[in-house]
A and B are shown apart, each in its own frame.
Chain A
């Protein structure tokens, strides 16, 4: 395209421009609203519900009512209280898993892409190996050996096995970026590799990296829910996955206690779905081409 319309904008201008479009993109706004709304519920909610989510406080197997907004479990536990605490665990696992996977993926990808040669060969091999490993099965086996499982340890092991595609993408990106002029310039002025990566290459991938974190976050939440459902959830906390597991274990299905197993699934779907939608919106924000369509 030879017709250039936008005058060259400096980086700061570009950032605020992105923010401007992001806040006007319905996908981003709706997605973030749901994600943040549920996050706030999970963070703040427990302070107003002073009971232990596993405490038997109400009548057994009661439907939703004014007292118990989401009804009670087979044992008379408050489903809403469990739900709120579960949200908290889900966000924690998602966040932790995403951060760890992102950190590993980023370091492996950048090192491979920037260094090239034999380092790249080896790291790329490692990436591909972890990529073909069926992550959930491996996670199940590892978790089953842990006698005490917590939300944190779950987040860590999920992170350890979900980084490869980030590494792959980052590697490909830094391959193309490292040959750009400004990187050469930085090299000539004697900057060291990590400095170049952080100062010169990373800002140019910022949008991409942000989107990867979002996807990792959603992926980690789904992983955690599956592990919890298998019965390998945190032994000391309530999570959305363990709620589903408990409801199945105590035949909520046959007893018709839908308020027990519907809310946790709705929450996970809403969180992960909103993250995906936000991502699509962000894609439109960062790619003006998509924006103009």
Chain B
């Protein structure tokens, strides 16, 4: 068990290190010197921020110091939580801009991930025992997983927002309202949240259902199922065992799937102009705000790693095989 966690932590540590290094390296290795491009572009459009930027570069990066020095400085700044200054939201720091947007993204991601996981697993398990249901769940599931996130988002916005007019199609809350802890504001918030949430939920649903179905069927063909049936165990018990065991790979699947879902959330937010990290990223790209862009990436990586670790902990709690550490380095 200790070995299992050490291994996992090592992988996450290396991943973080590599992500930071990529973050550092991209602007410097890319052709056309994007940093200079960003500076010159900004000098025209926004002279005051350009001044601040230049001093930021001078202080932290010292573009004329050797690369390794820049790299160390970069890490140093990172540990102080300093991700630079946002250009598009000047003079806010990247960290504060990202932290403002983060709750919206989490509010979309967490419920949609968890709910789709539970509902999808339930559907899949039911499909595994019912031929009729199987013949509908399976094709629909494949259809859902094949739909590009943003397209489903567009369709939902079009049908639920424009044609039916049930939901607003842009923003995190109405422009007329100011964020306040009132009932009206909360309802408004939920209305804006619903369609992007639904979109993420539906796309992820199919994958879980199909996965669960296949896993349950696999478990129902396994030796221990056969043995139980030979000893006359009732279907209920057999299925309960199969379901429990099939859940285990789905937990690690949850962690593996996260990167994809986060990507889906980014584009879904872009469709609904939902004020989370996705829209922020879009703004950063359009404004060539590379500090912000990289800050967002870093936050996403950290989030994904934390969530992965959480999934590992849960996995160890529910699967005796890893808990006993007898299976070794199966990661």
Interface residues of A (CB under 8 A from B): 124-125, 128-129, 131-138, 140-142, 144-147, 165, 218, 222, 225-226, 229-232, 241, 244, 247-248, 253-254, 256, 258, 261-262, 264-265, 268-273, 275-277, 280
Interface residues on B, range: 35 or more
Q: Which residue of B lies closest to A256 (CB)?
A: B162
Interface residues of B in 12-30 (CB under 8 A from A): 12, 14-15, 18-19, 22-23, 26-27, 30
Q: Give, as a whole number of angstroms, the nearest-CB distance from A214 to chain B.
A: 12
Q: Mark B1-15, 1 if CB is under 8 A from A, else 0.
A: 000000000111011
Q: Knowing that A229-B270, A268-B148, A273-B142 touch, tell me 13 more A-B residue pairs with CB under 8 angstroms.
A: A125-B10, A132-B12, A133-B19, A137-B296, A146-B30, A147-B37, A222-B146, A226-B266, A244-B154, A253-B154, A265-B152, A265-B154, A273-B146
Please state if B300 and A134 are interface contacts (CB–CB under 8 Å). yes
Known interface pairs A137-B266, A140-B285, A276-B145; A265-B290 also in contact (CB < 8 Å):
no
Known interface pairs A131-B256, A226-B267, A261-B154; A141-B294 also in contact (CB < 8 Å):
yes
Chain A residue numbers with a CB within 8 Å of B34 are 145, 147
Which residue of the partner chain, among B27, B147, B162, contacts A253 with CB atoms under 8 Å? B162
**Chain-A contact segment, one of B176-184, B225-233, B257-265:** B257-265
A146 and B37 CA atoms in complex are apart in Å by 12
A133 and B263 CA atoms in complex are apart in Å by 11
Q: What are 19 pairs between A and B in contact, CB < 8 Å?
A: A129-B18, A131-B256, A135-B263, A136-B260, A136-B266, A137-B259, A137-B281, A137-B296, A137-B297, A141-B293, A146-B30, A218-B146, A226-B148, A241-B148, A253-B154, A262-B155, A272-B148, A275-B146, A276-B142
Chain B residue numbers with a CB within 8 Å of A222 are 146, 148
CB of B202 within 8 Å of the partner chain: no
Known interface pairs A129-B15, A144-B290; A135-B148 also in contact (CB < 8 Å):
no
Chain B residue numbers with a CB within 8 Å of A269 are 143, 146-148, 151
CB of B66 within 8 Å of the partner chain: no
CB of B305 within 8 Å of the partner chain: yes
Chain B residue numbers with a CB within 8 Å of A232 are 285
Q: Give, as a whole number of angstroms, the nearest-CB distance from B151 to chain A.
A: 3
Please state if B256 and A140 are interface contacts (CB–CB under 8 Å). no
Please state if A132 and B11 are interface contacts (CB–CB under 8 Å). yes
Known interface pairs A132-B15, A134-B301, A144-B285; A226-B150 also in contact (CB < 8 Å):
yes
Q: Which residue of A lies closest to B151 (CB)?
A: A265
Interface residues of B (CB under 8 A from A): 10-12, 14-15, 18-19, 22-23, 26-27, 30-32, 34, 37, 138-139, 142-143, 145-152, 154-155, 157-158, 161-162, 169, 255-256, 258-260, 262-264, 266-267, 270-271, 281-282, 284-286, 288, 290, 293-294, 296-297, 300-301, 304-305, 308, 331
A165 and B145 CA atoms in complex are apart in Å by 18
Please state if B143 and A128 are interface contacts (CB–CB under 8 Å). no
A109 and B49 CA atoms in complex are apart in Å by 48
A248 and B153 CA atoms in complex are apart in Å by 11
Please state if B259 and A132 are interface contacts (CB–CB under 8 Å). yes
Which residue of the partner chain, among A132, A256, A265, contacts B305 with CB atoms under 8 Å? A132
Q: Give, as a whole number of angstroms, the nearest-CB distance from A160 to chain B.
A: 11
Known interface pairs A129-B14, A132-B15, A273-B142; A253-B149 also in contact (CB < 8 Å):
no
Please state if B162 and A230 are interface contacts (CB–CB under 8 Å). no
Please state if A244 and B26 are interface contacts (CB–CB under 8 Å). no
A57 and B132 CA atoms in complex are apart in Å by 50
Closest 3 CB pairs of A and B: A136-B263, A265-B151, A273-B146
Q: Which residue of B lies closest to A137 (CB)?
A: B300
Known interface pairs A137-B262, A229-B150, A277-B142; A132-B290 also in contact (CB < 8 Å):
no
